[in-house]
């Protein structure tokens, strides 16, 4: 009898360890997540009606994570990477205190590197306590291509907005992919969720889910890349209490 209970305890311990390792693989530990940089994917496209500066300034604008003129919220103490995706040399990307841009009022901050970046380069920015609460990402040559950056206080190393902090979204894998890429989502409360896939111009190319999801269990979703052209795509995940996303690279 004593041997039986020891074996059962051992089995329970092994099962618990495997569960922890699985969750760490799928979602990452809170400590590890808190140390990660946050990356925004930036491209340029002709403005449509969803861009905040549509019919103002230059006819093309910046697309961030597949969203035209996306309004951003950054947390002080977190490093953000603005990764360019074939941004033309006549549209150098920079961060400014000017709502117009066109080279005006570039941010002079010790936490920023590689202003006026183009091509496939990257701008790095770590807001600090002296960083203004309202900034703009803009083009160094042309007016009103970008939009607002809100800078807020938060725990040092925090990488999620308050709306995202209570849900878990895994990274797509495999990524890059030629066929399919899967990711998991787990919610703290039951709510309606819409999951879509967009190209770099912000156009929706796939609807992955629309409807209610229960709390407490991971749901798996798959991006079918078979019918997609090669390039960068963005997964938008929007619920009642959060909005976030991931990027997928399709290769052929």
Whether residue 46 sits in one domain with residue 28: no
Q: Are residue 203 and residue 221 in the same domain, yes or no?
A: yes
Say whether both 6 and 41 belong to one domain. no
Mark whether 127 and 224 lie in a shared domain.
no
Are 129 and 233 found together in one domain? Answer: no
Span 213-221, average pLDDT: 91
Q: Are residues 148 and 213 in the same domain?
A: no
Provide the pLDDT confidence category of residue 7 given band limits of 50, 70 and 90: very low
Query: Would you place residue 12 in the very low, low, confident or very high pLDDT band (cuts 50, 70, 90)?
Result: low
Checking if the pLDDT of 144 tops 90, the result is yes
- Note whether 131 and 192 are same-domain residues: no
The boundaries of the domain holding residue 234 are 168-250
The verdict on residue 99 lying in a domain is yes
- CATH number of the domain bearing residue 181: 2.60.40.1930
Looking at the fold, whether 102 and 193 belong to one and the same domain comes out as no
Q: Is residue 163 part of a domain?
A: no
In a domain, 157, yes or no: no
pLDDT above 70 as % of the chain: 81
211: alpha, beta or left? (left if phi > 0; alpha if psi -120 to 50): left
214 three-class SS = coil
Of 124, 152, 180, the one marking the end of a domain is 152
pLDDT greater at residue 220 or residue 157? 220
Answer yes or no: is 78 within a domain.
yes
Task: Tell me: pLDDT of 4 over 90.
Answer: no
Strands 122-125 and 60-64 come out as unpaired
Give the start-end residues of each E strand in 31-131.
38-46, 60-64, 67-68, 72-75, 80-84, 93-96, 112-113, 122-125
47/139 same-domain check: yes
Has residue 161 been placed in a domain?
A: no
| The total number of structural domains that make up the chain | 3
Percent with pLDDT over 90 in the chain = 53
CB 215 within 8 A of CB 190: yes
The answer to whether the CB of 248 falls within 8 A of the CB of 210 is no
Q: What average pLDDT does the structure give for the chain?
A: 83
CB 212 within 8 A of CB 240: no
Task: Judge if 183 and 103 occupy the same domain.
Answer: no
Please indicate, yes or no, if residue 160 is contained in any of the structural domains: no
Residues 43 and 75 in one domain: yes
140 is a domain residue? yes
Same domain? For 88 and 103 the reply is yes
Average pLDDT over residues 86-100: 96
For 113-139, the pLDDT digits (tens) are 999 999 999 999 999 988 998 999 999
CATH number, domain containing residue 74 = 2.60.40.420
User: In this predicted structure, what is the pLDDT of residue 165?
Assistant: 44
**DSSP track, 159-197:** -S-TTTTT-EEPPPBSSSBSSEEEEEEE-SS-EEEEEEE
- Asked if residue 70 lies in contact with residue 82, where contact means CB atoms within 8 angstroms, the answer is no
- In sequence order, the 6+-apart residues with CB closer than 8 A to the CB of 125 are 74, 79, 80, 82, 95, 109, 111, 112, 113
């Amino acid at each position: 009898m004593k041997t039986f209970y020891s074996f059962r305890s051992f089995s329970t311990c092994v099962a618990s360890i495997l569960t922890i390792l699985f969750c760490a693989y799928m979602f990452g530990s809170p400590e590890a997540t808190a140390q990660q940089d946050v990356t925004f994917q930036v491209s340029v496209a002709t403005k449509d009606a969803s861009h905040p500066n549509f019919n103002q300034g230059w006819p093309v604008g910046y697309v961030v994570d597949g969203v035209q003129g996306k309004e951003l919220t950054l947390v002080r103490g977190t490093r953000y990477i603005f990764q360019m995706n074939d941004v033309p040399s006549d549209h150098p990307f920079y961060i400014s205190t000017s709502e117009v841009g066109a080279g005006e009022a570039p941010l002079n901050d010790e936490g920023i590197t590689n202003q006026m970046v183009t091509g496939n380069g990257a701008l790095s920015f770590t807001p600090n306590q002296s960083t203004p609460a309202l900034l703009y990402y803009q083009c160094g040559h042309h007016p009103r291509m970008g939009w607002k950056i809100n800078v807020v206080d938060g725990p040092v190393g925090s990488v999620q907005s308050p709306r995202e902090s209570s849900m878990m979204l895994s990274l797509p894998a495999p990524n890059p992919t030629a066929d399919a890429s899967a990711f998991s989502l787990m919610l703290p409360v039951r709510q309606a969720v819409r999951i879509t896939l967009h190209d770099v111009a912000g156009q929706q190319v796939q609807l992955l889910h629309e409807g209610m999801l229960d709390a407490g269990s991971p749901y798996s979703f798959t991006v079918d890349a078979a019918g997609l052209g090669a390039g960068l795509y963005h997964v938008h995940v929007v619920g009642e209490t959060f909005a976030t996303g991931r990027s997928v690279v399709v290769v052929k």
